[in-house]
Amino acid sequence: MSYTYEYPRPALTVDCVVFGLDDEDLKVLLIRRGVEPFAGRWALPGGFVRMEESLDDAARRELDEEAGIRPNHLEQLYTFGAPGRDPRGRVVTVAYFALVKLSDHVPHAATDARDAAWFSVWDTPKLAFDHVDVLGTALQRLKGKVRYQPIGFELLPPKFTLTQLQRLYEVILERELDKRNFRKKILAMDLLEELDEVEQDVSHRAARLYRFDHKKYKQLEKAGFNFEL
């Protein structure tokens, strides 16, 4: 049996915070809006949820349509529903955050996005809607979660050095880490596969390359292992 509701109902959107990492900076993906409201303003990629799709599907579709991004790691972040957050009316958004390897994802603006680009999370332009709050919430989630789940490896290339790994944590946590203690702790977890390869085309002494063992982590996790740095 179908029902017709006579009272006003809010619309539903998804907004996505996509993080990437270069050597010295944590990046966030932004799109320049091509339509009102806030035409020409930078914003997080997102849009209205269609009647026939799940929230996860809507988030992945919007990322693909607006920026050509297809992340492996995508998770629900928080729901933002303050009245007045969207000048089009009563709009509630379910925010997501995603992690990608920067070199694998060159954004390409499409649909209602005029442009798409990576920005430092510490130096973003003025954002549309309440997206500065959404970004801030996602950044705090990343800072907390990266210490007790190995999600940071989603930001690294498949093969990386211990220096690159340490720098990832330093950039996200915004503080220096003791090199000896960090390496001792991460290697003691026995989750890194040491490769018979070193860096190529570098001006300094080439460092050993490693790979994160996802399969072994899943096995240890089932046995009660806790990842903590």
In contact, 25 and 119? CB cutoff 8 Å? no
Domain membership flag for residue 228? no
Portion of the chain with pLDDT greater than 70, in percent: 98
Domain membership flag for residue 91? yes
| 118: confidence class by pLDDT, cuts 50, 70, 90 | very high
pLDDT score of 217 more than 80: yes
Crossing angle for the helix pair 131-145 and 162-173, to the nearest 10 degrees: 130
pLDDT at 186: 96
Domain membership flag for residue 177? yes
Q: 166 and 140, same structural domain?
A: no
pLDDT at 2: 59
Q: Which domain holds residue 174?
A: 156-223
Crossing angle for the helix pair 179-188 and 162-173, to the nearest 10 degrees: 110
| 91: confidence class by pLDDT, cuts 50, 70, 90 | very high
pLDDT digits (tens, 9 = 90+) for 35-76: 999 999 999 999 999 999 999 999 999 999 999 999 999 999
Q: 162 and 98, same structural domain?
A: no
Q: 218 and 121, same structural domain?
A: no
How many domains does the chain contain in total? 2
Question: d(Cα 192, Cα 189) in Å, to the nearest integer?
Answer: 8
- Quick one: average pLDDT of 16-42? 95
User: pTM (2 decimals)?
Assistant: 0.93
Q: 106 and 19, same structural domain?
A: yes
For position 72, which CATH number holds? 3.90.79.10
List of E strands, the chain: 11-21, 26-33, 42-43, 46-48, 73-80, 91-99, 113-120, 192-198, 208-212
